Structure 1
């Protein structure tokens, strides 16, 4: 029996380690495009809002992420010879949880007897499972006319707290099927590698 239990634990550990190597990021993507095609190797530059100038280091890190996503769809960064200007944004917030309410309800910290007597009990453990909402956006303009030719946004809600893994996946999802995506809102699933492949 002991040998069987040990074998079962080893099997479960192997399964869990395999499952933990990837993370599925599903997002709602809304895209609007008027670009029929993009010349091979077309260049772009980033444009920053005045508010983004204040957080130069963070914005530069975000631009590095987006630069890699744009490279995957055939665009390269060249500030001096840019055909397009790209404005980006990202935000993340923790969604309210039912465990955030400190009001004690029956069955949590006390019980009420049929006679109305209150008996205080040990509070049960509250699971810390916060949900995070992340949203990224990208607006692309032609530098010659300053007309918006591509606009996309991706929204994801999940329990993964590390934005450094989620944000690249969201920008990749936002640029899916570039430059001629289906118009409107669509669901995009993206697999994130949590561990480097051996």
Structure 2
């Protein structure tokens, strides 16, 4: 009976780890304009402006759909008729392989293993649980996901907001990770507390591409 309860508890714990909420840990760098140039940022109306496409970048309309959801959360309004700022977005994913000791550049990021033990003592049984690492197989690729948003004041042509977010991890659901990174990149908009910071955000569903206003 005791053994059955132990197996059941282990199954529940493992299921919770597998189905729990997934967060993206993002490393964000932001440069924001100071007053008076920053006045254009709060509640800004924007239009998308496309730059050259890079290798590993999703289709521009998909990137814009991901960014539009994050921009709306930050209080910006998509407006192709009377925008005050332009927004150029970028995003890409590249893969690399783990070596047996850690991640490239000396950044060691262990995975998790699960341990379960059953023992007996003079006073009865005992159960132990343990977590450790690493778990990832060096033959499985890891991914670097990056996004950027560059905003310009359309009246002056000056860059008023430049923000970027990056995540390293084993997940391959590319668009969901990029969508979460756009949210992380706009954390604290229009005046983040720190220019360089770590931001954790949940994976988010991707919205439809923003509708273009009738001209």
* TM-score normalised according to structure 2 size: 0.67
2:48 corresponds in structure 1 to 46
CA distance in 2, matches of 1:49, 1:74: 24
User: Structure 1's 186 and 36: CA in aligned 2 closer, same or farther, altered over 3 A?
Assistant: farther
Runs (4+) of structure 1 exceeding 4 A deviation are none
CA contact (8 A) 1:31 1:152 kept: yes
User: Structure 1's 192 and 147: CA in aligned 2 closer, same or farther, altered over 3 A?
Assistant: same
**Greater relative contact order structure (CA < 8 Å, 6+ sep):** 1
- By percentage of residues, which structure has more helix? 1
Unaligned runs of 5+ in 1: 100-125
2:90 corresponds in structure 1 to 89
Q: C-alpha displacement at 1:87, in angstroms?
A: 0.3
Q: Quick one: which of 154, 175, 185 aligns to 1:143?
A: 154
CA contact (8 A) 1:36 1:179 kept: no
Unaligned runs of 5+ in 2: 101-136, 206-215
CA distance in 2, matches of 1:165, 1:13: 28
1:188 corresponds in structure 2 to 199
Q: CA RMSD, aligned part only?
A: 2.6
**1:101-159 CA-partner distances (Å, limit 9, x unpaired):** xxxxxxxxxxxxxxxxxxxxxxxxx6543221111111001111111000001111011
Larger radius of gyration: 1
2:73 corresponds in structure 1 to 72
CA distance in 2, matches of 1:78, 1:97: 44
